Amino acid sequence: MKTCSETYQFEKDLKWENPAPGVNRQIMAYDGQLMMVKVKFDKGAVGSMHEHYHSQATYVVSGKFELTIGDKKEILSAGDGYYVAPDELHGCVCLEAGILIDTFSPVRADFLNL
């Protein structure tokens, strides 16, 4: 079983997964303690409300997103970011097509089917 990514990731070599309508993701770098994932959203796509035991920090590369973390909503655009504490309910609606870079600690083994 592979426990870490290759040292370098080249976008052209990474497969895209489709976890929800209008949402596609590429698993980038990871080891047991850290994971980076690129997530592409179509306008109107929804990242459904969910929670997980991982810490999450996300950078908005492009687009516009309405984020809900706990009971607070904010609109985020390119250059913004957010943090989600472990076990905190969160989700988003994509207002303008865009890309997020999610980082997780520890690794999201569920994304790797481990």
pLDDT band at 3 (very low <50, low <70, confident <90, very high): confident
For 37-75, how does the pLDDT look when each residue is reduced to its tens digit (9 = 90+)?
999 999 999 999 999 999 999 999 999 999 999 999 999
Q: Quote the CA–CA distance of 57 and 111 in Å, as a whole number.
A: 16
Amino acid in position 36:
M
Q: Across the strands, what pairs with 100?
A: 39, 60
- Residue 113 has a pLDDT of 78
Q: Quote the CA–CA distance of 94 and 40 in Å, as a whole number.
A: 10
For a pLDDT cut of 70, what percent of the chain falls above it? Answer: 97
Average pLDDT over the chain, rounded to whole? 96
Annotated domain spans of the chain: 17-105
Which homologous superfamily does the CATH classification assign to the domain defined by 17-105?
A: Jelly Rolls (2.60.120.10)
Cα dihedral 38→44→50→56 (10° resolution): 30
Helices (H) and strands (E) in the chain, counts: 1, 8
- Residue 29 has a pLDDT of 96
